[in-house]
Amino acid sequence: MENVVLTIHLILALALIGVVLVQRSEGGGLGIGGGGGGSMSARGAATAMTKVTWALAIAFIITSLTLTILAARGATGTSVVDQFGGSLPAPSSAPAETPLGSDLLPPASSSAPLTPPRADDPAPAPAPAGN
């Protein structure tokens, strides 16, 4: 059911885009629907295109609401984390003597220097390979 409504919704979206682009605007627009020699006058064509645009827009809104209702009905009240079997990490209590902001830095590896080298220093020697 949801796939059928989604397909109709996509067709309505494309049709609505096409109808809006074909309409003549004050600046000219694409104006494909214009031209003399037709059985309808310019005013009649504009009225018909306006009615088609309104009909497509109303149908688009109805399918949007229908898709929202179908998605809400199929949704469960659980979290995305619960769907994959993950668990939230337990809150850790930080020691009181830890200065504010020191836990924002990533942990340094044992072979890495505590601070980055200065830009004017020569390249540091590579770490020994036998760790």
Q: Considering its fold, how many domains does the chain have in total?
A: 1
DSSP result, 106-117: PPPPTTS-SSPP
Residues 6+ positions from 103 with CB-CB distance below 8 Å? 94
Q: Domain residues for 59? A: 1-22+41-75
Residue 10 is assigned to a structural domain of this protein: yes
How far, in Å, CA of 94 to CA of 22, rounded?
64
The model's pTM: 0.48
> Of 71, 75, 74, nearest to 63 (Cα)?
71
* Lowest-pLDDT choice from 4-13, 33-42, 72-81: 33-42
How far, in Å, CA of 50 to CA of 48, rounded?
5
- Contact call for residues 63 and 56 (beta carbons, < 8 A): no
Residue 18 is assigned to a structural domain of this protein: yes
Residue 53 is assigned to a structural domain of this protein: yes
Residue 86 is assigned to a structural domain of this protein: no
Residue 6 is assigned to a structural domain of this protein: yes
- pLDDT tens per residue, range 5-17: 999 999 999 999 9
